[in-house]
Amino acid sequence: MATDHEVVSRLSRGCEVLAVTRHDYAAEHSFEYAIDGARVTGYPLRHPYERYGSDPDRLNGFMRELGMVLDKPEDDATWEDNYDNAVPRGFALAAKVTGVSFTPDMLGRPMLVGPIKER
């Protein structure tokens, strides 16, 4: 299961929602940021140059601070760096945006996951 763009947008009505999705199998790691029903920006974690949303470049300053390359890599070393550091940088970006640090202890606990009922 990956982060559902439409669900994130609906959940953000009247607030902000940030979702980082990481998988060890079958799905792509992703980052989604929505405010008041609008998907502001998102990207596949291993491809930060494939940003989308109503304001895809909103977090570019933070992304550059974290060492993300925002243009498609032209060399193997840069591509490998994007690939190898995608998940830690995605969580670091989430921490910068939300002010919540994602510590190993926090991420090592069981996560609460459940369905969201449609209205």
Any bridge partners for residue 85, and if so which? none
1 falls in which pLDDT band (50, 70, 90)? very low
Render pLDDT for 21-66 as a digit per residue (tens, 0 to 9). 887 776 788 999 999 999 999 999 999 999 999 999 999 999 999 9
Q: 61 Cβ partners below 8 Å, 6+ apart?
A: none
DSSP three-state, residue 111: coil
pTM of the model: 0.85
For the chain, give every domain's residue range: 5-100
